[in-house]
Amino acid sequence: MSSTDLHMVVPAGGSGTRLWPLSRAANPKFLHALTGTDRSLLQATFDRLAPLCTPERLLVVTGTAHATSVIRQLPELPERNILVEPFARDSCAAIALAAAVIERRSPGAVMASFAADHLITNTPAFAETVRHAVEGAAEGRLMTIGITPTRPETGYGYLQLSKPAEAGTVQTVLEFKEKPSHEVATRYVESGHYLWNASMFLWRTDVFLAELAARRPDVHDPIRRIAAAWDGDEQEAVLAQEWPTIPKVAVEYAVMEPAAAEGKVGTVPGDFGWHDIGDFETLGELLGKEIEGGARVVHVTPDTPPVVVIDGDGVLAVPCGPRVIATLGVADLIVVDTADAVLVCHRDRAQDIKKLTEILRERGHAAHV
């Protein structure tokens, strides 16, 4: 494999409702500087991937609502490498569109797809793992990178291996497992046969598209017609005709799970400080700085507005505006202040924040979600 054959894809979608009101439908978490630097998660993903392939071979797939922000945040990215979906059709459509466009531009290329909103702290180890996975992909396997689990997490899916995970080697994935109970997750982690599914996929575009054609022609055929028209005069017309017909389905469900059952899916275990900043607990653990009163603060903007906490063990404050946040005699709370919403949430209830956003929508306040 020469490096010129490797293309990178970043699906940039999803609103991150468990991070409301910081993350919004109109301003999702991948656009925020949740990285400990002034770079957004999307920009940090770009910084990590571009050196592995050059910006000319890096594609971002995003929605109409975020295209402008993506374009502004990534000035180095060629315009033709931003694929804008008319509206979301789940991960299979997004990834298949990228695969079909790449296949047209560079037949038989290897593509690697990574989420826009994950944080990775050990970039050299990540690059090394990608190299191993690219080798497996070049040989014709549908590859994934599985994350070595560090705790019995119930918020992720798992990859089941035939033998204990071994770093730097391509191993066969027996099965994709849904999010488990705590008991099951504990068994998974203790066995050493399971990795976290972080939706990192690597494959030859011709191999993936052949699998998709066989299993899901309802996704494959319109995507191929769209890709054939891409970059041409008919792009918009074909997109308008074909896109609405594509069913909403996750790529795991449409392709990877059935392919794994046939022994076609490989993985390379990864251990490079991977974090899905999916909720405020994780955000606080990763980026929180201790302040007085037993509290922590996460600064997600260049401003550092005053935060004053008196007797606030376990308080996590996330100021996103110029306002003072002051707490007095409250413990184990998450307080998030944004331009148009204030959230006060018990830490034990951080997983239920989505409910609040649903209620706001029901009551006609979708603009705040």
Please name which of 211, 216, 204, 205 lies closest in space to residue 259, comparing C-alpha atoms.
Answer: 211
Count interface residues toward a second copy (CB under 8 A).
Answer: 37
Tokens of 248: 């909403």
Decide: is 214 part of the binding site for a second copy (CB under 8 A). no
291 scored as a contact of a second copy (CB under 8 A): no
Of 59-67, 172-180, 196-204, 342-350, which segment contacts a second copy by CB under 8 A?
Answer: 342-350
| 120 vs 290: CA distance, rounded Å | 22
Q: Which stretch binds a second copy (CB under 8 A): 3-11, 121-129, 270-278, 343-351?
A: 343-351
The nearest distance, CB 130 to a second copy, in angstroms, is: 39
Rule CB under 8 A: which of 310-339 touch a second copy?
310-311, 322-330, 333, 335, 337-339
For residue 285, state whether it binds a second copy (rule: CB under 8 A): no
- Nearer to a second copy among residue 163 and residue 365 (C-beta): 365
Which window, 43-51, 127-135, 199-207, 307-315, contacts a second copy (CB under 8 A)?
307-315
Residue with smaller CB distance to a second copy, 79 or 348: 348
Residue from 198, 199, 340, 366 in contact with a second copy (CB under 8 A): 340
Largest CA distance in the chain: 64
Q: Looking at beta carbons only, is 273 or 294 nearer to a second copy? A: 294
Of 25, 24, 42, residue with least CA distance to 33: 42
Smaller CB distance to a second copy: residue 226 or 345?
Answer: 345
Contact flag: residue 69 with a second copy (CB under 8 A): no
Q: Is 78 in the site for a second copy (CB under 8 A)?
A: no
Q: Work out whether 345 is an interface residue with a second copy (CB under 8 A).
A: yes
Q: Find the shortest distance in angstroms from Cβ 355 to a second copy.
A: 6
Rounded distance, CA 74 to CA 150, Å? 32
Residue 12 in contact with a second copy, rule: CB under 8 A: no
- CA 259 centroid distance within chain: 22
Residue numbers 347-366 binding a second copy by CB under 8 A: 348-349, 352-353, 355-356, 359-360, 363, 365
Among 7, 18, 216, 368, binds a second copy (CB under 8 A): 368
Contact of 319 with 338, CB cutoff 8 Å: no
DSSP, collapsed to helix, strand or coil, labels residue 149 as: coil
Burial class of residue 181, CB neighbours in 10 A (0-12, 13-18, 19+): exposed
- For 178, the 3-state DSSP assignment is coil
Query: In 3D, which of 235, 256, 237, 234 has the Cα closest to residue 174?
Result: 256
Phi, psi of 187, deg, nearest 5: -60, -45
Interacting residues of 64 by C-beta distance below 8 A, sequence separation 6+: 84, 85, 86, 87
Cis peptide bond N-terminal to 55, omega within 30? no
**Which residues partner with 175 through β-bridges?**
160
List contacts with a second copy (CB under 8 A). 21, 306, 308, 310-311, 322-330, 333, 335, 337-346, 348-349, 352-353, 355-356, 359-360, 363, 365, 368
